[in-house]
């Protein structure tokens, strides 16, 4: 799937009802990905990346205030 997309976007919730949207490349996502610990239906199908990767290596693209 990562080979078919241009970017991975994370919406990180802030304490003040804001969401910061960060973008990283699919390659960066893959390099920093770990598999879910789930034993259910998502086992082997879902990859997780820490929010610090998006914050430190990603590009802040937008802030949404609700």
Say yes or no to pLDDT of 2 above 90: no
CA-wise closest residue to 56 among 32, 26, 30, 27? 32
11 vs 24: CA distance, rounded Å: 12
Structural domain boundaries of the chain? 2-65
User: Does 44 score more than 80 pLDDT?
Assistant: no
pLDDT score of 24 more than 80: yes
What pTM value is reported for the model?
A: 0.83
What does pLDDT average to over the chain? 91
Instruction: Average the pLDDT over each of 1-5, 11-15, 36-40 and give the range with the smallest value.
Output: 36-40
Residue written as token pair 């970017």: 7
* Separation of alpha carbons 7 and 3, rounded Å: 10
How far apart CA 43 and CA 16 sit, in angstroms, is 33
Contact 28, 42 (CB under 8 A): no
The answer on pLDDT for 64 being more than 80 is yes
């Amino acid at each position: 799937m990562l080979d078919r997309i241009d970017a991975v976007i994370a919406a990180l919730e802030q304490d003040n009802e804001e969401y910061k949207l960060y973008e990283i490349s699919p390659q960066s996502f893959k390099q920093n990905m770990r598999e879910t610990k789930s034993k259910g239906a998502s086992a082997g199908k879902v990859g997780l990346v820490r929010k610090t990767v998006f914050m430190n290596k990603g590009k802040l693209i937008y802030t949404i205030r609700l």
